[in-house]
Structure 1
Amino acid sequence: MMRAAYNGDTLGLHEVRRFNNTPLRIADRMYWNVYSLFQEIKWGIEDVAHTHGNIVSLAVDSWAVDFGLVDSGGHLIDLPRHYRDPRNLIAMREVVQQMGRDYLFDRTGIQLNPINTLYQLYAMRKENANLLSVADRLLLIPDLLNFLLCGEQAAEFTNATTTQFF
């Protein structure tokens, strides 16, 4: 976690807190430990506020292809799956076989990679379509962390373009 400070001439970056982002492995699945990350971020914010006083603004930068599904009440439906989850490679093969490499690339301009949101959603639908049926929003990881911090559900443009849906 970094603290940025501008003195009118230069922008300084200082590491405030370092923490692990270790995926949870449950059976043959991999998940983001998003609640642990959220707690670490809150502790980092507390450290900065205690040491440096008022915080003017916050930003979250993170891997953007992974996502959490939020229901209409604003609750996270399930832990977000990790981009290295083994199901994604199978899903990519199936989607490419159905739609074709050229078609996918021509439509999205995004490199075909099993980590892409497109393949993760396809795999999720095959595995448990009920999760999608109760979802109101899909929030990419940085947007999900912003939501947990401030309550606003939004999609940041540059992150959205990484999904292979834009």
Structure 2
Amino acid sequence: MHKNHLAIDIGASSGRHIVGWMENGVLRTEEVYRFPNSVQRVDGHLEWDIDSLFANVKQGIREAFAKYPNIESLSIDTWAVDYVLLKNDQPIYPVYTYRDSRTQAVIPEVHSILPFEQLYQRTGIQFQPFNSIYQLYADKKA
């Protein structure tokens, strides 16, 4: 029996659950669940529907295990710059998307504290106005 692995890919417009395994030296995959994902405009900001995302991730895991009960590993891939703040293991709302414009106003202030050249030397990350550092700083100021 081959080893099954579950990959969950959450993109800006949809999410999918894919089971993969090696068969005679060839990687095989099967999409077992797909769901729509979208942002919501609330009070002038763009937010993720985190409750729907979480429910769909759990539903896809259930469906994957129903079809492939011997899944040995699970991984989740998302946008990399977004996050959910937690308090007492519960989400703190709202959960903004990287597409939200709230970071624009704080970029100069962040760079006055940590010039971009130093930030780049420390992280190696190119400048994008939606990078997590700007989002976190905007949240701190809110």
Query: Any residues of structure 2 matched to 1:46-85 within 5 Å, and which?
Result: 46-71=62-87, 73-85=88-100
Q: Where do 5+ consecutive residues of structure 2 fail to align? A: 1-16
Between the aligned partners of 1:40 and 1:8, the Cα distance in structure 2 is 32
Between the aligned partners of 1:95 and 1:84, the Cα distance in structure 2 is 18
Query: Any residues of structure 2 matched to 1:34-113 within 5 Å, and which?
Result: 34-71=50-87, 73-113=88-128
Q: In percent, how many aligned pairs have the same letter?
A: 36
Between the aligned partners of 1:88 and 1:107, the Cα distance in structure 2 is 20
Structure 1 residue 99, shift from structure 2 partner: 3.4
Structure with greater strand percent: 2
Partner of 1:6: 22
Q: Deviations over 1:122-156 (max 9, x none)?
A: 111111xxxxxxxxxxxxxxxxxxxxxxxxxxxxx
Q: Which has the larger radius of gyration?
A: 2
Q: Deviations over 1:67-125 (max 9, x none)?
A: 11112x21222242110111112222332244333222223221111111110111111
Structure with greater helix percent: 1
| Dislocated runs of 4+, deviation >4 Å | none
Q: Where do 5+ consecutive residues of structure 1 fail to align? A: 128-166
Partner of 2:137: 122
Are the counterparts in 1 of residues 84 and 95 from structure 2 also a CA contact under 8 Å? yes
Are the counterparts in 2 of residues 91 and 114 from structure 1 also a CA contact under 8 Å? no
Secondary structure of 2:72's counterpart equals coil
Between the aligned partners of 2:67 and 2:121, the Cα distance in structure 1 is 50
Secondary structure of 2:84's counterpart equals strand
Are the counterparts in 2 of residues 33 and 79 from structure 1 also a CA contact under 8 Å? no
CA RMSD of aligned residues (A): 1.8
Give the TM-score normalised by structure 2.
Answer: 0.78
- State the aligned residue count: 126
Give the TM-score normalised by structure 1.
Answer: 0.67
